[in-house]
Amino acid sequence: MKEPISTSVIRVDSRKKLRGEAQYISDWKFEDGLFAKTVRSTKAKASILSIEIPDMPEGFYIVDKHDVPGVNKMRTVVSDHPLFAEDDVQYIGQPILLVVGPERETIYSIASEIKINYQEEPALFTLEEAEKRSTVFTDYNYKKENPEKAFVSAKKIIEDTFSTGYQEHVYLEPQGAAAEFKEDTLFVYGSMQCPFYVKSALLEAMALPEDKVRVVQSVTGGAFGGKEEFPSLNGCHVAIAANKTKHPVMMIYDRDEDILCSTKRHPSKVRYKAALDENDHIIALDIDVLLNAGAYNGLSPVVLQRAIFSATNVYNIKNLNVRGRNFMTNLVPSGAYRGFGAPQTIFGIEMLFHNIAVKLGVDPLEYKMRHLLKKNDPTCTGGQVHEEVKMPEIINKIVKNSDYYNKLKSNKKYQGIGISLFLHGCGFTGKGETMINGKIILVKNKESVTLKVSSVEMGQGAETALRKIVSQTLEIPIEKVIYEKVDTGLIPDSGPTVASRTTMIVGGLLRDTALEMKKSWNESDNLELSKVYKHPSYLKWDDEVFKGDAYPVHSWGANVAEVEIDPVTYELTINKLYAVFDVGVPIDERALIGQMEGGMVQGLGWATIEVMESKNGKLIQKNLTDYKIPTSMDIPEINCDFVLNPYEFGPFGAKCAGELSFVGSPPAVAEAVANALNKPINHLPITPEVLMEIDHED
């Protein structure tokens, strides 16, 4: 009997991991291998005057900008980050050179003896300073209908500003990479999400032909966006070192180094101005999104795009003027992190709706429901909501599951319940998918079927989900479906493992190809089929003016949080969390609940306890003693439920899920806290100090 697709199977990668046999990059051994340690800037902005290197013992090397065979820039969306500092540094932690050698202790001690003489320059750190000095990297704007006219005709105009802090990924496995030459081919191995990003970065940095570079993913211990663009930097570092030393070179970051110099979630400020008509309906929004991009722009423009395209969330607002800016500051570059800009604006608009409803004296949930998007409504960018919108069903379900209204009525001081509504645009923004045109290959052998993709298993369950899609389509056991090693020499580029696109896009290609294979199943023992992504023809997008369908489809959801605040210490306890998601059809229910709960708890961390601040460009929280993430003692009971809503172009009806899990819990908790204190919550994280201050405000 064929099981339904959502019925859970044992994850294919779990036994090896349980037995401690999975080989992460730090477990790899190389014969004659060397280790590398990065020497970094200790200044936020300075010219490098000179570098004093101590006498080097034999077999130890310095690797720096002079050793880059190709371009000394990390290739990404904006390739502005030097692999090794040229004559200046722009942030504390910026890589200047590597010390490479056979013993770890010795390279650490050499690194500590290197003296760099700087000429310091005035630096800037905060969004406020950056805005004042207009250090704008990227400035986007889009409009819908006629916001100017709407503001003139408005009966009320309400303004509000929201801000959020940094978040560090804290994947449990720190960044790590290794490189070696086998004959004249460069192999780079490492913990990563995007092998072909690393490969294209290497081609530029190493000036090698396409067929002389192979990138191989090692077992990856969590990523959450933190291993999207960053491994292109450390991957180039080890490659340059291997090229110079003629030895394999491995570089594994310590946790404090990882926290200090890897990308983070963008700190943000979002200003909303709402125009209300005589029925208190929001007829226009003017939205101004500011992200702190840090010292280099890198991937930030695309993060900013998702931030501004998510800024109206699940609501149909007739007139819009939306501006988004990335600002340069002398801080570690911000980058990809689960949600990719959307959590910042979705927190803002959820709180905006709450604050307006409270001002008007109406029920916030009811006020939100008046503005909900429906099927065929225009999206914020003037595209169309093509899918069935099941928000009413989602809301009914979560209200019932959580007994929301009864609990809201019995709201007491220092106790509160809150609800958030949200969506996530599935897959790449705008033209992203058609710029990559991902390819997959499916090979039928005598005994098995091999799938070849560049999607990586990093904990999210991609290997199980994709093998399951093929196995269920072909009606063969999952054990008979082999996942080709993620080695760019063996697999096609089906795109990076980002943007919640793996199951829906890559899984969709596999499903279609497997269906074709099934038709000719009995023709031969050896079949090879491949498929290239084709964008559904009804989707339109203009990248110049940001008009059309920014996303092919959306996943939707609602979260409810119940909180309690200690009236003396202001310690915040989240007692319960409820969630209802529409992710199309779950490919594996247990694996999906694991994703959703994990994402929600990460969201709780960002919203409540994860404080990261900088002083004069230096991060204050530099290790896991200072930077606290949720432990088993901090988590609420979670009730996770789904609404089915099959998507025509997704495998078995699946849409996106991984990032959707993150966006809802922060505003749900923030609203619960707002209700508990009867005060607006416009900033995250909500620490006890912040709560005490808010409670004592008049």
Partner 1 sequence: MKIEFTLNNEKLSIDVDASRRLLDLLRDDLGMSSVKEGCGEGECGACVVLVNGRAMNSCILPAGAIIGKSVVTLESFKHTDRYKAIEAGFLKAGSVQCGFCTPGFIISTESLLNQNPNPTDEEIKEGLSGNLCRCTGYNMIIKGVRLAMEMGAGLW
Give the shortest CB-171-to-partner 1 separation in angstroms: 6
Give the shortest CB-623-to-partner 1 separation in angstroms: 6
Q: Is 657 in the site for partner 1 (CB under 8 A)?
A: no
Q: Which two tokens stand for residue 358?
A: 């409270």
Question: Please, which of residues 22-81 interact with partner 1 by CB under 8 A?
Answer: 22-24, 26-27
- How far apart, in Å, are the Cα atoms of 674 and each of 224, 399, 418, 486, 559? 29, 19, 8, 47, 15
* 9 touches 464 (CB < 8 A): yes
Question: Please, which of residues 287-316 interact with partner 1 by CB under 8 A?
Answer: none
Question: Please, which of residues 206-245 interact with partner 1 by CB under 8 A?
Answer: 219-224
Q: Is 625 in the site for partner 1 (CB under 8 A)?
A: yes
Give the shortest CB-29-to-partner 1 separation in angstroms: 9
Which range of residues in 156-164, 233-241, 409-417, 592-600 is near partner 1 by CB under 8 A?
Answer: 592-600
Nearer of residues 343 and 680 to partner 1, judged by Cβ: 343
Q: Is 468 in the site for partner 1 (CB under 8 A)?
A: no
Question: What's the CA gap between 460 and 464, in Å, rounded?
Answer: 9
Question: What's the CA gap between 674 and 418, in Å, rounded?
Answer: 8
Question: Please, which of residues 444-463 interact with partner 1 by CB under 8 A?
Answer: 458-461
DSSP string, 90-123: -STT-EEEEEEES-HHHHHHHHHH-EEEEEE---
Nearer of residues 21 and 571 to partner 1, judged by Cβ: 21
> Which runs of consecutive H residues, i.e. helices, occur in 45-166?
104-113, 127-133, 147-153
Nearer of residues 585 and 591 to partner 1, judged by Cβ: 591
Q: Is 14 in the site for partner 1 (CB under 8 A)?
A: yes
| β-sheet bridge partners, residue 138 | 326
Question: What's the CA gap between 165 and 613, in Å, rounded?
Answer: 8
Binding map of partner 1 across residues 245-274, x = CB under 8 A, - = no contact: ---------xxx------------------
Q: Which amino acid is at 217?
A: Q
Give the shortest CB-593-to-partner 1 separation in angstroms: 7
Question: Please, which of residues 328-367 interact with partner 1 by CB under 8 A?
Answer: none
| 529: CB partners within 8 A, 6+ apart | 441, 442, 443, 513, 516, 517
Question: What's the CA gap between 33 and 319, in Å, rounded?
Answer: 61
Q: Is 401 in the site for partner 1 (CB under 8 A)?
A: no
Sign of the Cα pseudo-torsion (542, 548, 552, 557, in order): positive
Whether omega before 685 lies within 30 degrees of 0, making that bond cis, reads yes
Nearer of residues 389 and 640 to partner 1, judged by Cβ: 640
Q: Is 173 in the site for partner 1 (CB under 8 A)?
A: yes
Question: What's the CA gap between 77 and 304, in Å, rounded?
Answer: 12
Question: What's the CA gap between 696 and 264, in Å, rounded?
Answer: 32
* 121 touches 643 (CB < 8 A): no
N- to C-terminal Cα separation, the chain: 65
Q: At what angle do helices 195-206 and 230-245 cross, to 10 degrees?
A: 40
Q: Is 279 in the site for partner 1 (CB under 8 A)?
A: no
Question: What's the CA gap between 686 and 126, in Å, rounded?
Answer: 19
Nearer of residues 103 and 159 to partner 1, judged by Cβ: 103
Question: Please, which of residues 127-166 interact with partner 1 by CB under 8 A?
Answer: none
Nearer of residues 132 and 485 to partner 1, judged by Cβ: 485
Give the shortest CB-402-to-partner 1 separation in angstroms: 17
Which range of residues in 143-151, 329-337, 514-522, 589-597 is near partner 1 by CB under 8 A?
Answer: 589-597
Single out the residue of 170, 299, 302, 352 in contact with partner 1 (rule: CB under 8 A): 170
Nearer of residues 76 and 502 to partner 1, judged by Cβ: 502
Return the SS3 of 490. Answer: coil
Nearer of residues 27 and 148 to partner 1, judged by Cβ: 27
Single out the residue of 15, 115, 133, 375 in contact with partner 1 (rule: CB under 8 A): 15
* 500 touches 426 (CB < 8 A): yes
Nearer of residues 24 and 428 to partner 1, judged by Cβ: 24
Nearer of residues 463 and 549 to partner 1, judged by Cβ: 463
Question: What's the CA gap between 617 and 634, in Å, rounded?
Answer: 30
Q: Is 688 in the site for partner 1 (CB under 8 A)?
A: no
Q: How far is CA 255 from the centre of its chain?
A: 20
Site residue total, partner 1 (CB under 8 A):
57
Q: Is 601 in the site for partner 1 (CB under 8 A)?
A: yes
Question: Please, which of residues 627-656 interact with partner 1 by CB under 8 A?
Answer: 629-633, 635, 637-638
Cβ–Cβ contacts within 10 Å for residue 285, how many? 25
* Residues that bind partner 1 in the complex, under the rule CB under 8 A: 8, 10-11, 13-24, 26-27, 169-174, 219-224, 254-256, 458-461, 590-591, 593-594, 597-602, 623-625, 629-633, 635, 637-638
